[in-house]
């Protein structure tokens, strides 16, 4: 049996309590598959290629034409990467909370900020029947590795501001702290996360 203390500062590993800040999630099976290796390799390739249309040798018109198919490829990759990252969040949730409190909804940060390189996902949000977790990703293999926040659902606020000329975002607030999980248009799905949080907080 595993789980968190009511204040979210301690994690029970089945034998003893450990400070949440010191918990390191071990390598997950999903991070060792061929699917994982291919996605990570593709992520790094796209990240390196994301500056292609900004190179000085490309005229503005050619840069635009080169960017259109790149954006299509990028969105397809984001969708595949997101689904794999959600599976990773589910596996990490099972490790931290056990099989009796699975992930109900979750989202990783998967985006490309305007005028910058392809971002490597650094955060993921998880909602279970009782908890909200914000997990920090290991950028080497993409898996959840550390706990940024563990709290009862009714002790936090989770919101998804309507984007205006910006990428969809989920914001988790706990006291004076907050975390922003940014996604890509037509890829990120904030609604299930918000709905799951509202049900968990109400119960």
Question: What are the chain's domains?
Answer: 3-202 (2.30.29.30)
Q: Residue 120's pLDDT is what?
A: 57
Give CA separation, 5 vs 37, 76, 96, 131, in Å: 35, 40, 12, 11
SS3 159: strand
**First CA to last CA distance, the chain:** 22
Q: Residue 194's pLDDT is what?
A: 98
Count CB-CB contacts under 10 A for residue 22: 9
Count CB-CB contacts under 10 A for residue 69: 9
Q: What are phi and psi of 17, to 5 degrees?
A: -85, 140
If you ran DSSP here, which 8-state letter would residue 102 be given? -
pLDDT digits (tens, 9 = 90+) for 32-49: 888 888 888 887 777 665
Q: In terms of Cα–Cα distance, which of 170, 183, 179, 167 is closest to 82?
A: 183
SS3 164: coil
Q: Residue 65's pLDDT is what?
A: 44
Q: Residue 59's pLDDT is what?
A: 44
Q: Residue 14's pLDDT is what?
A: 87
For the whole model, what pTM was predicted? 0.83
Q: At 64, is the pLDDT very low, low, confident or very high (cuts 50, 70, 90)?
A: very low
What gap in Å lies between CA 2 and CA 97, rounded to an integer? 5
């Amino acid at each position: 049996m595993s789980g968190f203390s009511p204040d979210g500062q301690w994690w029970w590993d089945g034998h003893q309590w450990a400070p949440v800040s010191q918990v390191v999630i071990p390598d997950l099976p999903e991070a060792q598959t061929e699917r994982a290796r291919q996605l990570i390799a593709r992520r790094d390739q796209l990240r390196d290629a994301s500056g292609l249309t900004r190179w000085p040798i490309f005229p503005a018109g050619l840069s635009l034409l080169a960017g259109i198919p790149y954006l299509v490829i990028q969105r397809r990759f984001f969708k595949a990467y997101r689904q794999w990252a959600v599976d990773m969040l589910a596996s990490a949730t099972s490790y931290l909370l056990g099989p009796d409190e699975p992930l109900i909804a979750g989202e990783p940060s998967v985006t490309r900020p305007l005028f910058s390189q392809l971002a490597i996902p650094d955060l993921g949000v998880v909602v279970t029947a009782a908890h909200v977790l914000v997990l920090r990703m290991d950028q080497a293999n993409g898996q959840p590795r550390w706990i940024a926040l563990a709290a009862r659902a009714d002790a936090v606020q989770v919101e998804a501001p309507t984007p205006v000329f910006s990428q969809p975002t989920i914001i988790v607030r706990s006291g004076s702290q907050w975390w922003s999980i940014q996604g890509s248009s037509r890829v990120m799905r904030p609604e299930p996360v918000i709905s799951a949080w509202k049900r968990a907080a109400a119960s």
